[in-house]
Structure 1
Amino acid sequence: MTQLRNLFDLHIGRPASDGAGVRLTRVIGGPGLERFDPFLMLDQFDTQNPDDYIAGFPDHPHRGFETVTYMLEGRMRHRDHLGNEGLLKPGGVQWMTAAHGIIHSEMPEQEEGAMRGFQLWLNLPAKSKLGPAGYRDIEPEDVPRTTTAQGVGVTVIAGRFDDGEIALDGAVQRPDTEPHYYDLSLPAGSSVTPHLPRGHQALLYVYEGSLQVEAERGGEIGHNRLARLGDGDAVKLSSAGGARVLLLAGKPLQEPIVQYGPFVMNSREEIEQALRDYRDGVLAV
Structure 2
Amino acid sequence: MSIRPVLETRKAQATMEGAGVHLHRAFGFHDPTELDPFLLFDDFRNDNPAAYEQGFPWHPHRGIETITYVLAGEVEHGDSLGNQGRLGAGDVQWMTAGSGILHQEMPKGNANGQMHGFQLWANLPSALKMTAPRYQDVSAPDIPVVVDDDGTAVRVIVGAFWGKHGPVDGIAADPQYLDISVPPGVKKTFPVDTYRRSFAYVFAGAGAFADASAPEGVLLEKEVAGQEVHIRDLSGNRTLIRFGTGDEVTVQAGPEGIRFLLISGAPIAEPVAWHGPIVMNTKAELRTAMADLRNGTFIKPAH
What's the TM-score once normalised by structure 1's chain length? 0.94
State yes or no: 1:201 paired with 2:197.
Answer: yes
Give the structure 1 partner of residue 124 of structure 2: 124
Q: Is the 8 A contact 2:136 2:168 kept in 1?
A: no
Evaluate the alpha carbon distance shift between residue 29 and residue 232 of structure 1 in structure 2; reply closer, same or farther with a 3 A threshold: same
Q: Is the 8 A contact 2:14 2:25 kept in 1?
A: yes
Shift of 1:110: 4.6
Shift of 1:214: 2.5
Give the structure 2 partner of residue 156 of structure 1: 156
Between the aligned partners of 2:210 and 2:142, the Cα distance in structure 1 is 32
Deviations 1:64-119, CA, capped at 9 Å, x for gaps: 00000000000111111112111100000011000100111111345861000100
Q: Is the 8 A contact 2:65 2:121 kept in 1?
A: yes
Q: CA RMSD in A?
A: 1.5
Q: For 2:191, what is the secondary structure of its paired residue?
A: coil
Give the structure 1 partner of residue 184 of structure 2: 188
Q: Supply the AA of the counterpart residue of 2:176.
A: H
Between the aligned partners of 1:220 and 1:125, the Cα distance in structure 2 is 36
Q: Is the 8 A contact 2:138 2:168 kept in 1?
A: no
State yes or no: 1:143 paired with 2:139.
Answer: no
Which residue, out of 237, 240, 245, partners 2:260?
A: 245
Q: Is the 8 A contact 1:173 1:179 kept in 2?
A: no
Between the aligned partners of 2:103 and 2:171, the Cα distance in structure 1 is 24
Give the structure 2 partner of residue 97 of structure 1: 96
* Structure 2: runs of 5+ lacking an equivalent: 215-232
Q: Is the 8 A contact 1:65 1:99 kept in 2?
A: yes
State yes or no: 1:133 paired with 2:133.
Answer: yes
State yes or no: 1:229 paired with 2:243.
Answer: yes
Q: Supply the AA of the counterpart residue of 1:202.
A: S
Between the aligned partners of 2:108 and 2:6, the Cα distance in structure 1 is 39
Give the structure 2 partner of residue 257 of structure 1: 272
* Structure 1: runs of 5+ lacking an equivalent: none
Evaluate the alpha carbon distance shift between residue 167 and residue 193 of structure 1 in structure 2; reply closer, same or farther with a 3 A threshold: farther
Shift of 1:173: 2.8
Q: Is the 8 A contact 1:14 1:26 kept in 2?
A: yes
Deviations 1:11-55, CA, capped at 9 Å, x for gaps: 222111111111101111121121111110000011000011110
Between the aligned partners of 2:254 and 2:38, the Cα distance in structure 1 is 29
Between the aligned partners of 2:21 and 2:254, the Cα distance in structure 1 is 34
Q: Supply the AA of the counterpart residue of 1:246.
A: L
Give the structure 2 partner of residue 63 of structure 1: 62
Between the aligned partners of 2:171 and 2:260, the Cα distance in structure 1 is 24
Shift of 1:58: 1.2
Q: Is the 8 A contact 1:176 1:251 kept in 2?
A: no
Q: For 1:141, what is the secondary structure of its paired residue?
A: helix
How many residues were matched structurally?
A: 280
Deviations 1:234-264, CA, capped at 9 Å, x for gaps: 1122202211111110011011112101101
Shift of 1:229: 0.7
Q: For 2:33, what is the secondary structure of its paired residue?
A: helix
Between the aligned partners of 2:254 and 2:24, the Cα distance in structure 1 is 26
Q: Is the 8 A contact 1:214 1:237 kept in 2?
A: yes
> Greater shift after overlay, 7-16 or 215-224?
215-224
Q: For 1:189, what is the secondary structure of its paired residue?
A: coil
Between the aligned partners of 1:98 and 1:185, the Cα distance in structure 2 is 31
Q: For 1:235, what is the secondary structure of its paired residue?
A: strand
Which residue, out of 268, 271, 276, partners 2:286?
A: 271
Shift of 1:176: 4.2
Identity of aligned residues (%): 39
